[in-house]
Structure 1
């Protein structure tokens, strides 16, 4: 038991550190897009169009996430979770560091944005493969009664990545203020990725492979074409799981996608705050996001993933419709309050996601299932959320249109949640492949499953597998 706890702690630490580094790299680009890249790489397009195009390059990377998810899912289900995580970490870090070396449009002309977009695509492929491996290592190492909590650990890598990227950028605005920040200060956070990747690689290479994959490999039961099996047998489940994530991702990318940072600091806009205080406010809100993400994971172990999601959607609605009225006061304090309120709902619709996703898919195609669902959900939700928000405000003249847009997306995500049965605590190993293959979609397949002791259970009972 002590050895198992030690392994779980080591895995938790490795997944937190690894995903934090990955999302630091990913969100650093997103924050820089509205603060720096719009001027240095797309400046000739004009103020509004350059910002929209810069945000669009954030979204372009999402279109390549499915490719990363397909590749990582295929090899993760065949070769293991650990090897995929090391590859994605190196790819993400290398792309981020190279961005720091890029010439600007003034120096290299159109070649500069082309290279920037190419490196962003590499980031997208890496991000598409990272998430599935990290969360499965955490969830499949955990015991069934703490799956939600353990699965939330790699999730907080998102908030830590946001905290680090915003904090380092804010620090550089003080070290290199004014023109110095645009000349060289913005490059330093990208160079820092080189050091972070070495740290992440050293930690991840020492992590044990998932016990579930060990069992599959020992029995030589790896599926030859896991992606094909997933699409053939579980396509509707993939769609619903994607829609669940869509609601969280669209709202989350108001900060992780750089929209709020750009909106609040735009000198031609209604607020015109300084970069530094806004970046520090975003960094502070990342802390509250971290806390509520962990709380959501733990709560889901007690009341079930589905019930926690329903509570989360209610909280997220409150956050969405209070965000812009608070931001529009022009006060940094009110901006911070709006972001914190938003992160309560973001945490409660994110912390339990790894455990829920892992429990939805059979062990033989689980890496493919969680990776592809996450990638598609990110495209439907966050990919172009900042661009859409910028376009809505430009065309309507009010941020209320953005709140309505985010609210509609959240309603669709809630509807998808209500169509899924709760499978909290279902056994995850290959011995239960038949049990796991029964559809968790309400109205499709038999709702009756059999546990180890032969008793019949209904998946809607959130405690049915938690004996």
Structure 2
């Protein structure tokens, strides 16, 4: 393995050419993981209700499909704990390779599943099982990819480079929505018979590409220094709660805004607009495609700005805009005006969501020390995801109970909770992440049990 020189002071942690390579590799790996995760969300909104949860009541079928979408989020904290432990004990790179393989296998297998009409109740059981495996894998991937970038990045540039793995979800959305836009143009009978399977099976190709690139990057130099000095955490999950329990809780709260906005707009709103408002699938998928493409530009810009003014102001702005756009977003949908819906999507996704999403990979890991950074970032991120993973299901139930105003109110409250949590969090953009913090030093100094 190529050995990287690291400094614990204020000089560049890694040569610029190498950080560009790492940023690109993290972007590709993140794209693969989120393509796999997002095609499930798109299929949930468009076909899974009919094929795996048939019912005389279309709303009941849709809600059941949304419930399986949420199952993946329940397993994400388990994946975060598992891969976080070994990522802090063994290394970041090995976990990234494993998560990619696990996710890719589960996704491809979904493309070959029999439907309810073919095997009965076994079909949804298999679907839920593979969704759980997807969630378990994603639970470890995000933190590993983020850490590889910011632990290689030069000081003062972590926000910019940390935005690159965050472009992965935009690219994954672009690919998943694009493939579904193509196959959904098939005659309905062919789409429901075999067309929906194509995006899942194609995952095998993107996984192979991602694996090739991910295997070619070096281990984090900061973590290598921890291994060399034999100061790695003995029980990362226990140590991180002892040293950083407050930060984990704050990240959970900060996650409410980002997931509620995103999955509300790309999963729930997709179903609501097509099934209840009669807007064409292709129109809504095009909206999602355009906003995903804009994310390629907006996220690095927001990340670079956070290197100048701090993470908290950027996060504040995103969460507040998310709260303010919730009601106008649904008003725009109700008008059925393509222009107004497009503007609403741009504000919700490219302003509110992207402001937050762009700095997650730098802000969250910076809240932890190197010894437990993988575990802390993964657990905070994925516990927050578990809370919000049922956003489409909750939104569907609220809509059935009292219409879209209840859904918009739910989104507003979630964003305001994130505002409070950001206020309570510590600013981190000038922090030296290579130094061992005082709490970590105390835990590391405790005698080891022989």
Task: Name the residue aligned to 2:404.
Answer: 399
Task: Name the residue aligned to 2:82.
Answer: 71
Task: Name the residue aligned to 1:98.
Answer: 109
Task: Name the residue aligned to 2:377.
Answer: 370
Q: Out of 36-45 and 72-81, give the one that drifted further.
A: 36-45
Aligned length: 430
CA separation of 1:189/1:356 partners in 2, compared to 1, >3 Å: closer, same or farther? same
Q: Which of these residues, 213, 235, 238, is aligned with residue 225 of structure 1?
A: 235
The DSSP-based 3-state class of the residue aligned with 2:428 is coil
Displacement of 1:436: 7.5
Residue 147 (structure 1) aligned with residue 154 (structure 2): no
Mapping 1:208-357, distance limit 5 Å: 208-256=218-266, 258-266=267-275, 269=276, 271-343=277-349, 344-357=351-364
Note if contact 2:243-2:440 (Cα within 8 Å) is conserved in structure 1.
Answer: no
Note if contact 2:13-2:154 (Cα within 8 Å) is conserved in structure 1.
Answer: no
TM-score (normalizing by structure 2): 0.93
Task: Name the residue aligned to 1:200.
Answer: 210
Note if contact 2:72-2:136 (Cα within 8 Å) is conserved in structure 1.
Answer: yes
CA distance in 1, matches of 2:163, 2:440: 22
Note if contact 1:20-1:157 (Cα within 8 Å) is conserved in structure 2.
Answer: yes
Note if contact 1:24-1:164 (Cα within 8 Å) is conserved in structure 2.
Answer: yes
CA distance in 2, matches of 1:150, 1:217: 24
The DSSP-based 3-state class of the residue aligned with 1:106 is helix
CA distance in 2, matches of 1:437, 1:316: 39
Mapping 1:166-185, distance limit 5 Å: 166-174=177-185, 176-185=186-195
CA distance in 2, matches of 1:63, 1:437: 33
CA distance in 1, matches of 2:109, 2:207: 13
Task: Name the residue aligned to 2:8.
Answer: none
Displacement of 1:288: 2.5
Q: Which of these residues, 421, 427, 432, is aligned with residue 422 of structure 1?
A: 427
The DSSP-based 3-state class of the residue aligned with 2:27 is helix
Note if contact 1:360-1:436 (Cα within 8 Å) is conserved in structure 2.
Answer: no
C-alpha distance after superposition, 1:112-131 (max 9, x if no partner):
00000000000000010000
Displacement of 1:437: 7.7
TM-score (normalizing by structure 1): 0.89
CA distance in 2, matches of 1:371, 1:128: 7
Q: Which of these residues, 111, 114, 130, is aligned with residue 125 of structure 2?
A: 114
Residue 134 (structure 1) aligned with residue 145 (structure 2): yes
Note if contact 2:320-2:419 (Cα within 8 Å) is conserved in structure 1.
Answer: no
RMSD: 1.6
CA separation of 1:179/1:307 partners in 2, compared to 1, >3 Å: closer, same or farther? same
Note if contact 2:13-2:153 (Cα within 8 Å) is conserved in structure 1.
Answer: no
The DSSP-based 3-state class of the residue aligned with 2:93 is helix
Task: Name the residue aligned to 1:386.
Answer: 392
Displacement of 1:309: 1.3
Note if contact 1:361-1:436 (Cα within 8 Å) is conserved in structure 2.
Answer: no
CA separation of 1:399/1:95 partners in 2, compared to 1, >3 Å: closer, same or farther? same
Q: Out of 288-297 and 189-198, give the one that drifted further.
A: 288-297
Which portions of structure 1, spanning 4 or more consecutive aligned residues, are displaced by more than 3 angstroms? Answer: 435-438
CA distance in 2, matches of 1:289, 1:388: 27
Note if contact 1:26-1:123 (Cα within 8 Å) is conserved in structure 2.
Answer: yes
Note if contact 1:294-1:347 (Cα within 8 Å) is conserved in structure 2.
Answer: no
Which structure ranks higher in relative contact order (CA pairs < 8 Å, sequence separation ≥ 6)?
2
Note if contact 1:293-1:346 (Cα within 8 Å) is conserved in structure 2.
Answer: no
For structure 1, the residue ranges without an aligned partner over 5 or more in a row are 439-467
CA distance in 2, matches of 1:290, 1:319: 22
